[in-house]
Amino acid sequence: MNKGRVTIPTDDNFIKETLEIAEKWGADGIRDCDGFKLPREIKGLAERIYSTYFVARGDNEWAEANREELQQTYLMTKHHVAVENKLTIKIMDGYFAEQVEPDTYHDIKTWWEVIDRTTNEVVPTENWTYSEESGEVTINNVSKWHEYTVSFLAYCIWDPTQMYNHITNNWGDKPHEMPFDARKPKTNKHIIEAMYNWLDEHPESNVVRFTTFFYHFTLVFNDLAKEKFVDWFGYSSSVSPEALDEFEKVKGYRLRPEDIIDQGYYNSPFRVPSKAFLDYIDFQQQFVAENVKKLVDVVHEAGREAMMFLGDNWIGTEPYGKYFESIGLDGVVGSVGGGATLRMISDIPGVKYTEGRFLPYFFPDTFYEGNDPTIEARDNWITARRAIMRKPVDRIGYGGYLSLAYKFPKFVEYIESVCDEFREIYDNIDNSKPYCGLKVGVLNCFGKLRSWQTHMVAHALWYKQIYTYLGIIESLSGMSLDVEFISFDDIKQNGVPSDIDVIINAGDAGTSFSGGEKWLDKEIVTTLRGWIYNGGGFVGVGEPSAVLEGGHFFQLAEALGVDKELGFSLSTDKYFKTPVEKHFITEDVVEPFDFGESQKNVYSKSKDTEIICYENGDLLMSANRYGKGRAVYIAGLPYSIQNTRILMRSCFYAAGKEDEMKKWYADNLNCEVSAYLETKKYAVVNNSNEEQTTLVYDGNGNSVQMTLDPCEIKWINMV
């Protein structure tokens, strides 16, 4: 039996058992984890020894000596209403003084901004003062009953990840790690030197696992030491006067604090991004890539591999960004929450390998007496496996305390089967591309840059406003379709790529994912209308193409055959409410529809719209012809096996390729087929925990009946 492609953590005084597990799971990699340091004698005990390395924290001596080179962040106070002609705002109200402190080292009149949020006007600097002693900004000559905010630059005096771990685990008086800024001149030099030193001092490892580089995603705590603001994509904590001055030189114009503050939304990925913000992230990505490359070069000089953890201080190294490949990293490792996060890792271009860290983490919250950690492991594996079938990561791994997992023999045995199954899949696919029935483009404001990362707030966390759309990405991650992420700007500049069969646009009105004001761009909207009319397929979920203009709310209302009633057209009678008796899209449906948060007040515009689901006065699913093309509307698609099938059928229907769906296809919606034409193998997977019987169709549409055990994967050689 083959071995390798698996990384395991180790533990204090646990070398013998570590090797025992490594043997059992076929692990060829051992990593340190959570504060535990690898012993020197680990060297050579596995092919691959990973050591965690922090670039911009963990050296408080340096940080203390160069406090003006600490990382910085932009913060906004809450809104304060002026009740007299003077207004005083305590700027740190609601912030955590152990995490951030106002920067008065740099000129506050240059770097801070007081804004009248009722008029959107900046208050002249001569009209406000700041008292360091009281921590208050006093604004004079305010307009009564207007609301004001202060945007201020602050120093980050505690790395957010260490802060989180410190507070969560009650680390008491353990020092707070202060993050220093690679853009500041002394620190930039220091970081390189520290890298050399560290490599010298750590001969035992041959893989440097960067956790991570320069800037943490935005994670700000409140005055109760709890999370106040989290944005896994946030660039707010990558700012500094140096960065903003340099930005002006590079991009030819100056950013205002407000370009980062964004009314307190801080350029959340749900905002349609401004040009200034897009320029800023481009600018930071370029800087980070150039400087991370220097570190990677040092690692390579030392004959080691350089690996990046996808998270924490990853800002600027977005792996689908245009500078990422130039860094020259060997690998990327990330946490796998399901299919979408797996594809986010496995599709990363320009690295030699990718690695997924699977769940559960070997921590006492899961590994306690009486609990069966196998359940979480199986759920995690089965959802991720769908995506692995389409594009595998090159390695899998686990994290936490191995000594904990060791006490659960059933779990150890289950993971052994997972590792074997993973290697079997990997070998059978053998780097070939599986058969794809269609190519789908997911259209939003970020396109390729945020491949597999739409509708996300904090990494893999559930939010009420996102699960309805995340389901689409999760479904797609394991579907036998080709998937590309495209932006409105791509469409504007280059039109719709010629190989796209179906465009999916999903999200709440006004968000970057639905597109908001992008739909007012006549080049974009006409390009898409024309593309659909000429035979393209469009699947809109939630409030696709939504922005009120020209008598429509959905700008593709005529193509979709539906629009949403905001009240303005209530006077127009809505007659079309009767669903079709059956429809291609819902032929496999076995349980009640689940539209998640769903939509209200969507209605059919004409008798020609094929209404597929209509409940309580709301149209929830429909299809429509538009010239030679077709458009499908769905009110929401949280992830489920049934919704995955509904989405797949929607795509084939929209593309007008219903006849081609039953190739490498299983009619039982609990099963999926992936076919690898190059390696002449195909696999049928059972995504459920029950036995399933299904017709399995080959590439010519011939079918044969099969029965699969719970979660089974069957490999078959093509004839």
Site track for its own copies across 50-79, x = CB under 8 A:
-----------------------------x
Cα–Cα distance for residue pair 321/282, rounded to 1 Å: 8
656 binds its own copies (CB under 8 A): no
Nearer to its own copies, 73 or 692 (CB): 73
What are residue 577's phi and psi, to 5 degrees? Answer: -135, -5
C-alpha separations of 577 from 13, 332, 581 in Å: 69, 50, 12
Q: Which of 434, 389, 441 is nearest to 654 (CA)?
A: 441
Span of 222-230, 283-291, 312-320, 669-677 interacting with its own copies by CB under 8 A? 222-230
Which residue of 125, 286, 527, 679 would you call a contact of its own copies, by CB under 8 A?
527
Residues contacting its own copies: total by CB under 8 A: 68
Site track for its own copies across 616-655, x = CB under 8 A:
-x---------x----------------------------
Bridge pairing between strands 29-31 and 121-122: unpaired
* 91-130 residues near its own copies, rule: CB under 8 A: 117-120
Cα–Cα distance for residue pair 484/656, rounded to 1 Å: 19
495 binds its own copies (CB under 8 A): no
Max distance between CA atoms of the chain, in angstroms, equals: 84
* Inter-axis angle of helices 339-346 and 467-477, nearest 10: 60
Residue 298 tokens read as: 């040092």
Cα–Cα distance for residue pair 185/188, rounded to 1 Å: 5
618 neighbors 599 (Cβ within 8 angstroms)? yes
Which residue of 106, 186, 228, 714 would you call a contact of its own copies, by CB under 8 A?
228
353 binds its own copies (CB under 8 A): no
715 binds its own copies (CB under 8 A): no
152 binds its own copies (CB under 8 A): no
Site track for its own copies across 188-217, x = CB under 8 A:
------------------------------
Cα–Cα distance for residue pair 489/273, rounded to 1 Å: 11
Which residue of 212, 218, 505, 694 would you call a contact of its own copies, by CB under 8 A?
218
The nearest distance, CB 663 to its own copies, in angstroms, is 33
Would you tell me how many other CB atoms lie within 10 Å of the CB of residue 176?
17
Cα–Cα distance for residue pair 306/598, rounded to 1 Å: 44
The nearest distance, CB 467 to its own copies, in angstroms, is 11
Q: Which of 441, 445, 436 is nearest to 389 (CA)?
A: 436
Which residue of 566, 590, 704, 718 would you call a contact of its own copies, by CB under 8 A?
566
Nearer to its own copies, 247 or 513 (CB): 513
Which residue of 65, 81, 97, 718 would you call a contact of its own copies, by CB under 8 A?
81
578 binds its own copies (CB under 8 A): no
The nearest distance, CB 219 to its own copies, in angstroms, is 10
Catalytic pick from 59, 181, 231, 312?
312
Q: Which amino acid is at 602?
A: V
The nearest distance, CB 345 to its own copies, in angstroms, is 23
Which residue of 4, 26, 328, 510 would you call a contact of its own copies, by CB under 8 A?
510
Nearer to its own copies, 228 or 657 (CB): 228
* 531-550 residues near its own copies, rule: CB under 8 A: 533, 548-550
256 binds its own copies (CB under 8 A): no
607 neighbors 577 (Cβ within 8 angstroms)? no
Q: Which of 527, 357, 505 is nearest to 445 (CA)?
A: 505
Cα dihedral 219, 220, 226, 232, rounded to 10, equals -20
The nearest distance, CB 633 to its own copies, in angstroms, is 17
Nearer to its own copies, 182 or 532 (CB): 532
The nearest distance, CB 139 to its own copies, in angstroms, is 16
Nearer to its own copies, 144 or 352 (CB): 144
Cα–Cα distance for residue pair 525/532, rounded to 1 Å: 11
223 binds its own copies (CB under 8 A): no
Cα–Cα distance for residue pair 607/610, rounded to 1 Å: 8
Span of 10-18, 158-166, 264-272, 481-489 interacting with its own copies by CB under 8 A? 264-272
* 430-459 residues near its own copies, rule: CB under 8 A: 457
Span of 37-45, 247-255, 509-517, 636-644 interacting with its own copies by CB under 8 A? 509-517
Which residue of 271, 625, 663, 714 would you call a contact of its own copies, by CB under 8 A?
271
Cα–Cα distance for residue pair 666/6, rounded to 1 Å: 31
Which residue of 97, 575, 680, 701 would you call a contact of its own copies, by CB under 8 A?
575
Contacts of 112 (CB under 8 A, 6+ apart): 130, 137, 150, 151, 152, 153, 257
90 binds its own copies (CB under 8 A): no
The nearest distance, CB 42 to its own copies, in angstroms, is 40
Nearer to its own copies, 254 or 600 (CB): 600
577 binds its own copies (CB under 8 A): no
The nearest distance, CB 72 to its own copies, in angstroms, is 19
150 binds its own copies (CB under 8 A): no
Cα–Cα distance for residue pair 466/463, rounded to 1 Å: 5
165 neighbors 221 (Cβ within 8 angstroms)? no
Which residue of 149, 151, 346, 687 would you call a contact of its own copies, by CB under 8 A?
149
The nearest distance, CB 257 to its own copies, in angstroms, is 14
565 binds its own copies (CB under 8 A): yes
CA triple 536-539-542, angle to 5 deg: 150
What is the arrangement of strands in the sheet containing 671-676, beginning at the earlier edge strand? 671-676, 681-686, 713-717
The nearest distance, CB 524 to its own copies, in angstroms, is 11
551 binds its own copies (CB under 8 A): yes
511 binds its own copies (CB under 8 A): yes
570 binds its own copies (CB under 8 A): yes
Instruction: Concatenate the DSSP letters of all residues of 653-701 into one string.
Output: HHTT-GGGSSSSEESSTTEEEEEETTTTEEEEEE-SSS-EEEEEE-TTS
CA gyration radius, the chain: 27
C-alpha separations of 447 from 437, 501, 516, 696 in Å: 22, 16, 15, 34
Cα–Cα distance for residue pair 48/26, rounded to 1 Å: 13
The nearest distance, CB 512 to its own copies, in angstroms, is 9
For residue 581, count CB atoms less than 10 angstroms from its CB and return exposed for 0-12, middle for 13-18, buried for 19 or more.
exposed
For residue 286, count CB atoms less than 10 angstroms from its CB and return exposed for 0-12, middle for 13-18, buried for 19 or more.
middle
CA count, 13 A, side-chain hemisphere, 331: 21
Residue 209 tokens read as: 């696992």
Would you tell me how many other CB atoms lie within 10 Å of the CB of residue 517?
12
Q: Is 490 an active-site residue?
A: no
Q: Which residues are at the interface with its own copies (CB under 8 A)?
A: 79, 81, 83, 117-120, 143-147, 149, 218, 222, 226-231, 234, 263-266, 268, 270-271, 457, 463-466, 507-511, 522, 525-527, 529-530, 533, 548-552, 557-558, 565-573, 575, 597, 600-601, 617, 627
Report, as residue numbers or ranges, the catalytic residues. Answer: 312
